[in-house]
Amino acid sequence: QSIVLTGITTTGTPHLGNYVGAIRPAIEASRRHDVLPFYFLADYHALIKCQDPERVNRSTLEIAATWLALGLDTANAVFYRQSDVPEIAELAWMLNCVTAKGLMNRAHAYKAAVQANEDSGEGDPDKGVTMGLFNYPVLMAADILMFNAHKVPVGRDQVQHIEMARDIAGRFNHLYGEHFVLPEAVISEDTATLSGLDGRKMSKSYDNVIPIFLAEKPFRKLINKIKTNSLEPGVPKDPDTCTLYSIYKAFATPEETAAIRRRYEEGIGWGEMKGVLFEYLNEHLKAARERYDALMEAPEKIEEVLQEGAAKAREYSAPLMKKVRASVGIRPLS
Ligand code: TYM
């Protein structure tokens, strides 16, 4: 069985980009029996960006409810909260001790923070950079290596982190013996990055996201806000540079997508296309939205599933950690 693992940071409400880039392919994989999936809520990662406890807590529930409402097969998949598996934080420390600082200097998230400080001309390039942010890829390596994942399905923005996890695993194995599988990133090419309201990548940090389970009315409103060019109805339009089209394509079948391409050639108006997109997505998400709303009313049910998941995860993490502790010369926990 091949081990597939992926996580989502619990800082916000899950959006269509998370769905298309991570949740949907992960749920599809959860139904395959040649795969053992590990899916988790990265709440330790959330602390790097968010110091609002209420928000971290709420987001954790929302993301868990989202996976369950969208049909995650929890009989096959191991579905858990990162912080419920204490071995992960322990492993992160051990990995920290074999990871070169120079490798972390090259991490995108850290570099972007330093660049923003330099651009603002404020003098201190490390302003606002915590050790949590700097170490982010090491914690992520611990998430992955803890379960010896072979494949890690992620959006393109995360690929560097998987490469770093490979490097770190290689280094640890070299020093202490072959404990870890070298993981590989899996990106689905056609839907690698979904665009948001303003046409840039849909992302919490750009404030341009469309939440998956927004109620119907605000959902329609948000879709009407997607940026388009100013071409009038009747004028042929280029689907390949249009956010409405790219979102439609991420959900529709190839036949439906081809039919919409023809409508672009015929000069469909933006108002009409927004209506088409709303109807399509709404129909597609309606039943899951009802399941989501019901789950959010019953957080104890969500918690039950997460606790079962954590217990399953620890069946894997505890023995591996025992081996790892012995290999570095630390006494086993009794
Ligand atoms: P996060 O929470 O930022 O995003 C979760 C997943 O969604 C993908 N994604 C997108 N894909 C396509 N289009 C978009 N617009 C879009 N926005 C987000 C991300 O690439 C990601 O796959 N550090 C990770 C969480 C994490 C993790 C891990 C992932 C922690 N440990 C171990 C895999 C393995 C993160 O912040 O993802």
- Asked if this assembly's ipTM is beyond 0.90, the reply is yes
- Residue with CA at minimum distance from ligand 1 atom 7: 18
Q: What strand order describes the sheet that includes 35-42?
A: 78-81, 35-42, 2-9, 151-153, 184-186
Q: Are 263 and 316 in a shared domain? A: no
Clarify whether residues 156 and 9 are in a common domain: yes
Over residues 239-259, the pLDDT tens digits come to 999 999 999 999 999 999 999
CB-count exposure of residue 241 (10 Å: 0-12, 13-18, 19+): exposed
Evaluated on CA atoms 75, 77, 83, 86, the torsion sign reads positive
Task: Tell whether the model's pLDDT for residue 191 goes beyond 70.
Answer: no
CATH code, 65:
3.40.50.620
Highest-confidence range of 9-18, 24-33, 89-98, by mean pLDDT?
A: 89-98
Residue 269 domain flag: yes
> Ligand 1 — pocket residues by CB below 6 A?
5-9, 17-18, 20-22, 42, 45, 140, 143-144, 152, 154-155, 157-158, 193-194, 201-203
Q: Let me know: does 65 contact 23? Beta carbons within 8 Å.
A: no
Question: Residue 140 sits in which domain range?
Answer: 2-194+299-328
Q: Are residues 56 and 84 in the same domain?
A: yes
Q: Are residues 110 and 219 in the same domain?
A: no
Q: Say whether 202 counts as a known binding-site residue.
A: yes
Say whether pTM exceeds 0.90.
yes
Query: 259 CA to middle of ligand 1, Å?
Result: 31
The reply to whether 239 and 312 lie within a common domain is: no
Please check whether residues 287 and 306 belong to one and the same domain: no
pLDDT(122) > 80? no
The Cα–Cα gap between 90 and 186 comes to 26
Separation of CA 309 and ligand 1 centre (Å): 20
* CATH number of the domain enclosing 272: 1.10.240.10
List C-alpha distances in Å: 111 to 9, 157, 164, 219.
20, 13, 15, 35
Residue 64 sits in the same domain as residue 144: yes
Question: How far does the centroid of ligand 1 lie from the alpha carbon of residue 333, in Å?
Answer: 33
